[in-house]
Structure 1
Amino acid sequence: MIKTLAKNIKGFVKESVLTPFFMILEVVVETIIPFLMSSMIDDGINKGDMQHILITGGYMGALALTGLFAGMMGGIYGAKASAGFARNLRRSMFANIQSFSFANIDRYSTAGLVTRMTTDVTNLQNAYQMLLRMCFRAPVSLICAMTMTFIINARLACIYFIATILLSVVLAFIMKATYKYFSQVFEKYDELNASVQENVTSIRVVKAFVREKHEVGKFRKAADNVYRLFVKAENAMVTVSPIMMVTSYASIILVSWFGANMIVSSELTTGELTSMLTYCMNILMNLLMVAMVFVMLTMSIASGKRVAGVLNEKSTLANPENPVYEVKDGSIEFDNVSFSYNTKAEKPILNDINLKIKSGETIGIIGGTGSSKTSLVNLIARLYDVTEGSVKVGGKDVRDYDIETLRDKVSVVLQSNVLFSGTILDNLRWGNENATEEECVNACKLACADAFIESFPDKYNTKIEQGGTNVSGGQKQRLCIARALLKNPKILILDDSTSAVDTATDASIRKAFSENIPDTTKLIISQRVSSVSHADKIIVMDDGEISAVGTHEELIKNSPIYNEIYVAQTSGNGDFDAKGEL
């Protein structure tokens, strides 16, 4: 974990070195000042030597200004180092998340990743600043002050030494007790963020079903869980301050008592006793600082493990050693393919799939919910890797291609249509960032999106709100299809991507594809028979296996499942949803 996090200090090494340097300089100055104070009292004030008082006072003033400068510079460089460290962590995490395969993403919740990039990184930022400043300052100051007390009077210094040991043992027990609570609290933060994210993204559904009170109750429960864990941790920490104060007062009383007796017996001077008491507060306050550093480090260890987990996560998909950078054509072949999302699953999601599709063919895929239609097409673009067998595109195993090259030529319009903040043109150019406006318009005409875009006042410069909330579901689907077409793919996969458009528009899109992109292999997943009936071949999926393959006419005769779907839909009973069910 430490090695992983330390890599992100890059670019701020100078600040990370200068911060402890200035903090140690400040400590050295603070350590010398009480020693000079002792000399001023004993050799200046008690003896009435004004010259000694002025010279010593001058030295003390210069040292105080040096300490002030060192403290300021330590704070400035510490802030730069910690903020830079946090910036690098967020950049590294986000960059690594972009490299994740779908399998990697499935291991984390969206809320969990957000918590790691916000709360967890902020904890690490604060901990790093304290590490550079207090973790160097407090121990060094403690050691220097303790050394000076032993130089002044070893017998009295033993009181501080014993107090330090006792406090260290108590703090160690407290830190151990609080660590488990801080480890749990960030998991509850995930639940809290998940509640907020789900509510905000689905606020229209919440209001439509008048579920505001339910959502408030769910969020309150998540917030209460975080509250309870923090209270438990703070209850364990609350004893630190009273123990510190009792130890401080006890040490001062003991040093004052024994020091006074030593002054009477001429074993100690007044100045030395004053210095001892000054060092007493220095030692005990530094112990308190160390305690607070440990509290922050305890929290940051839990956060550090979570952040390092994301940084160390390696994509389950990787380019081969010598990748292929050209996709010959849009032919597809499944050879004894089996696939599971979890390798330990008892039954595969896809089982023994054998299929050949010629370049330029239009293939319909139909089946009930859970029949693994989407899982089948996800293997073509190598969004997942097969568990057994192989998937070939253009005559080559998809694992032999450069991933970017393959996905540029296998364009997928997923079930969940997502648009991003920006103009319609901005969204379309996700398919091809160098596309001209003319190319964007042509793609939209193929997707039957041009007409509604032209009805907007700003046309193609119309702003799309976050998530595409200012366009309808059908409009969003057509924009996503146009975006996919701009990639000029050899294979186009539409995963239930026309479900929100009317049948007439659906038919227009199919006709446009047939006339304008005849060489592109088209795979259309749909619940509607009308959307796939024109296909060269239709694949009927059932429970992760291919139940039947054929034309519309052949399947009506030979496939009971397809025939049942056809009869149900043409008789007006609705769309097929699951095997044998409507």
Structure 2
Amino acid sequence: MLQRLARLINRYIRPYWGLLSIVIVLQTIATIMSLYLPTLNARIIDEGVVTGDTDFIWGTGGVMLLLSAVQGAAQIGAVWAGANTAMQFGRDVRAAIFERALSFSARELNRFGAPSLITRTTNDVQQVQMLVLMTAIMLVGAPITMVGGVIMALREDAGLSWIIFAAVVILGAGIVVLIVNMGPLFELMQKRIDTLNRVLREQITGIRVVRAFVREPHEARRFDTANAELVDTATKVGRLMAFLFPFVGLIMNVSTVGVMWFGAQRIESGDIQIGQLTAFISYLMQILISVMMTTMLLVMAPRAAVCADRIMEVLETDSSVAPPASPVAPSGERGHVLFDRVSFAYPGAEEPVIRDISFELTPGTTTAIIGSTGSGKTTLISLIPRLFDATAGRVLVDGVDVRDLDPDTLWARIGLVPQKPYLFSGTIASNLRYGKPDATDEELWDALRVAQAEPFVLDKEGRLESEIAQGGTNVSGGQRQRLAIARALVKKPSVYIFDDSFSALDVATDARLRAALRPETASAAVLVVAQRVSTITGADLILVLDDGEIVGRGTHEELLTTNATYREIVESQLSAEEAAA
């Protein structure tokens, strides 16, 4: 884990070596000033106070004031530069995680899970960022203070040096024991933060289901359990942290008493003077404080290492749908899609989800896919925009395998309306312009008209500028579907994919929408996945999917007479008169 922490910091700190150089220079200046001040103070006591030399006291005191001012200014500058370095480091790491997550296929996203990715982007980055901040602030100061403090203390009186050695050894041993016990707890804490985020996200997202089934008490208990587990781990960490400062304080106080006790005897014997003893105590405090500050870094390091390990796990995970090294330009007819003996299996699955699928979409035609739940319909259409990659066979768009197309070129040709339409926080206009940022208001209204969404948008006070909540939770399911359809229409792609996108519409609205869609999509290829037979009766080709295989293909009339599976679906939904129509 420490190796990954070092790699992460080294990778993203490189652009800020200039700022770090400023930190090093300023910290060096501040540390040298702080090391020289006790010596000046000792000279005031031994050479000025004892002899009554007022001029020497004022002169040396003035020098001390000047050095203190320089020290303070250098320390402020070092903290400013260090904070800037740490904040920009955190920004870059968050951006890197976000960009990598955007490149993931559904396979990687399912592996990590949204709550864990959120935790890694926020809390985990914050922990590493704090380590970088503390390291930058104490990068030079603590080592120089420890080494320089020992040298300066020995200059004052070598006879008391054994006290420094004993204090540092005892303090170091206690710190090592502390860190060894903290490492596993920090790893457990990050996992429990993941769990808490997952439970909270599920409950907020599924609040309607929770209330519909009156499961508030059950969900409250789930949250309490996750919360209590996190509190329990955090409390154990807190107890160890609480032990640290009293322990350090005890060592510092005992060391001070020891210096004063044995120092008094050396003063009495004439080996040292009072000012030298005062300076020695100051250097002892500086050494122990620098050890304590280093301890804080060492205490933070295990948790930061755990967080860095989780961050690097994301950054070092390659997407299973990586863009091609040498993209191929589309060469075929625009709006042509070909499935050539395509199969797909999820990692670790015993059987493929879809097997040996072959069909094609051509411009100006509508192809429909129907089948029972779990037959592989959504997986099948996900292969066109490369949400997954086929494990066997090829999917070609405009004559080129989708794995060889530049992702932007591929996605520019596809308008996907997913099974669960998602709207982003903003306005109706900002959501409709998602695929075409420069679309005019007239283009938006045209798309709304076709999608049968114009009436309810006109009824809203802000119309196109009406607010949309995250996920579109402030509009109904049918309105959300129609806005998602309008969003795809604004883009004007050459291939439309509707994944059960009419399920929330009543029969009359569904019919009007399909009638309005025909002229709008006349020059494009249209692929419709549907559960409702009435939605696809007018399709040029209907594919019947069962257990991942195509078991029938043809028009509505042809399948009624030739395919038992399709006829069974129709008879389960329509009356005998409707089936014959």
Which bin holds the TM-score, normalised by the shorter protein?
Answer: over 0.9
Q: TM-score, normalised by structure 2?
A: 0.93
In the alignment, is residue 37 of structure 1 matched against residue 41 of structure 2? yes
The question of whether the paired residues in 2 share the 8 Å contact of 1:331 and 1:521 is answered with yes
In the alignment, is residue 445 of structure 1 matched against residue 449 of structure 2? yes
In 2, distance between residues paired with 1:500 and 1:5? 49
* C-alpha deviation, 1:561, in angstroms: 2.1
The one-letter amino acid of 1:336's match is: R
Partner of 1:258: 262
* C-alpha deviation, 1:493, in angstroms: 0.7
The question of whether the paired residues in 2 share the 8 Å contact of 1:540 and 1:562 is answered with yes
In the alignment, is residue 279 of structure 1 matched against residue 306 of structure 2? no
Matches within 5 A, 1:113-124: 113-124=117-128
Deviations 1:498-525 (A, max 9, x none): 0000122222222223233222111111
Percent identity (aligned): 37
2:367 is paired with a residue whose SS is strand
In 2, distance between residues paired with 1:366 and 1:568? 13
Partner of 2:129: 125
Deviates more, 1:232-241 or 1:31-40: 232-241
In 2, distance between residues paired with 1:36 and 1:352? 87
* C-alpha deviation, 1:414, in angstroms: 0.7
Partner of 2:396: 392
In 1, distance between residues paired with 2:214 and 2:372? 31
1:196 is paired with a residue whose SS is helix
Q: Which runs of 5+ in 1 are unaligned?
A: 573-582
Matches within 5 A, 1:177-216: 177-216=181-220
Partner of 2:298: 294
Residue 481 (structure 1) aligned to one of 467, 477, 485 = 485
1:510 is paired with a residue whose SS is helix
Deviations 1:25-63 (A, max 9, x none): 222111111111222222222233333222222222211
1:493 is paired with a residue whose SS is strand
* C-alpha deviation, 1:142, in angstroms: 1.5
Residue 225 (structure 1) aligned to one of 209, 229, 233 = 229
CA separation of 1:49 and 1:210: change in aligned 2, threshold 3 A: same
* C-alpha deviation, 1:10, in angstroms: 5.8
The question of whether the paired residues in 1 share the 8 Å contact of 2:369 and 2:377 is answered with yes
Matches within 5 A, 1:75-114: 75-114=79-118
The question of whether the paired residues in 2 share the 8 Å contact of 1:444 and 1:479 is answered with yes
Matches within 5 A, 1:371-390: 371-390=375-394
Partner of 1:537: 541
Deviates more, 1:161-170 or 1:308-317: 308-317
Aligned pairs, number:
571
In the alignment, is residue 433 of structure 1 matched against residue 437 of structure 2? yes
The one-letter amino acid of 1:443's match is: A
* C-alpha deviation, 1:429, in angstroms: 0.9
* C-alpha deviation, 1:571, in angstroms: 4.3
Q: Which runs of 5+ in 2 are unaligned?
A: 577-581
In the alignment, is residue 336 of structure 1 matched against residue 341 of structure 2? yes
Deviates more, 1:247-256 or 1:371-380: 247-256
Residue 271 (structure 2) aligned to one of 264, 267, 271 = 267
In 1, distance between residues paired with 2:556 and 2:498? 19
In 2, distance between residues paired with 1:348 and 1:534? 31
Matches within 5 A, 1:306-385: 306-326=310-330, 328-342=333-347, 344-385=348-389
The question of whether the paired residues in 2 share the 8 Å contact of 1:135 and 1:290 is answered with no
Deviations 1:518-567 (A, max 9, x none): 22111111111111222122111122222222222232233332222111
Deviates more, 1:407-416 or 1:345-354: 345-354
In the alignment, is residue 418 of structure 1 matched against residue 422 of structure 2? yes
Deviations 1:457-493 (A, max 9, x none): 3333322222212221111111111111222222111
In the alignment, is residue 472 of structure 1 matched against residue 447 of structure 2? no
In the alignment, is residue 68 of structure 1 matched against residue 72 of structure 2? yes
The question of whether the paired residues in 1 share the 8 Å contact of 2:338 and 2:396 is answered with yes
The one-letter amino acid of 1:168's match is: G
* C-alpha deviation, 1:116, in angstroms: 1.9
Question: Root-mean-square deviation (CA), in Å?
Answer: 2.1
In 1, distance between residues paired with 2:60 and 2:435? 75
Deviations 1:240-260 (A, max 9, x none): 233323322332233223222
Matches within 5 A, 1:455-466: 455-466=459-470
The one-letter amino acid of 1:361's match is: T
Residue 140 (structure 2) aligned to one of 127, 136, 140 = 136
CA separation of 1:225 and 1:136: change in aligned 2, threshold 3 A: farther
The one-letter amino acid of 1:338's match is: S
Deviations 1:43-88 (A, max 9, x none): 2222333332222222222111111212222222222222222222
The question of whether the paired residues in 1 share the 8 Å contact of 2:8 and 2:308 is answered with no
Deviates more, 1:41-50 or 1:472-481: 41-50
The one-letter amino acid of 1:71's match is: Q
In 2, distance between residues paired with 1:541 and 1:267? 98
* C-alpha deviation, 1:309, in angstroms: 2.7
In 2, distance between residues paired with 1:308 and 1:38? 51
The question of whether the paired residues in 2 share the 8 Å contact of 1:39 and 1:271 is answered with yes
Partner of 2:164: 160
CA separation of 1:298 and 1:321: change in aligned 2, threshold 3 A: closer
Residue 501 (structure 1) aligned to one of 491, 502, 505 = 505
Deviates more, 1:367-376 or 1:157-166: 157-166
The question of whether the paired residues in 2 share the 8 Å contact of 1:420 and 1:468 is answered with yes
CA separation of 1:443 and 1:236: change in aligned 2, threshold 3 A: same
In 1, distance between residues paired with 2:278 and 2:427? 72
Deviates more, 1:492-501 or 1:40-49: 40-49
Deviations 1:99-139 (A, max 9, x none): 33323322222111221222222222222111111343222
